[in-house]
Amino acid sequence: MPRSNRLGKYNATAPAPHAPKDVAVVPLHPSKNITTVSYRGTTPPQLNTIDFGNLVEHPLLIANISKVYDEIFRGRSKATLDVLKRAIVEVSHFLMWLEQKQGIKIRSIDQINIHVTTMVYVYLEERRIQYRRLNFFRRVLRAMGVAESEIPSTSF
């Protein structure tokens, strides 16, 4: 007995009922809202809005949030976005911690060096956060444009 494709049968002349459409990404406005679109199978596209104004506090992260969006948030599902939002808040808290507790004020990518980025280890230890979070810090730093030589490697 022949089986059909689980995604459905489509005629060559008729387009798929929910074919991906070009959806314009909303640029970062003063409200700091960005809309992302994720496609899963033949279901309609899932539109998700991220309000970075409530998540991100540090000016360096706000200035580079479009780069971070392109590398980390674009095309993610709602469940994944919820996890990533919590992680980006932790990066924002790290940058604020650097400024408030360590006296290191960073206003541009050029000011980030290996000494600043290795402070992530101290921050994670002080907050008792698992070191697996280090990989996300590395992804964000790389997305913002920090040179690979200035990003600490994982020690395990």
Report pLDDT digits (tens) over 24-80.
Answer: 444 444 456 777 788 877 878 888 877 777 677 788 888 888 888 888 888 888 888
Q: Give the DSSP letter of residue 133.
A: G
Within-domain flag for 24: no
Within-domain flag for 73: yes
**Cβ–Cβ under 8 Å, residues 144 and 68:** yes
Within-domain flag for 50: yes
Segments forming the whole domain that contains residue 105: 33-150
Q: Say what the pLDDT of residue 16 is.
A: 52
- pLDDT category of residue 6 using cuts at 50, 70 and 90: low
CA distance 71 to 108: 19
Within-domain flag for 84: yes
CA distance 61 to 52: 10
Q: What is the pTM of this model?
A: 0.72
Within-domain flag for 20: no
**Cβ–Cβ under 8 Å, residues 7 and 41:** yes
Within-domain flag for 74: yes
Within-domain flag for 28: no
What is the number of domains present in the chain?
1
- pLDDT category of residue 14 using cuts at 50, 70 and 90: low
CA distance 147 to 2: 55
Within-domain flag for 122: yes
Task: Please report where in the chains the tokens 């230890």 appear, as a residue.
Answer: 125
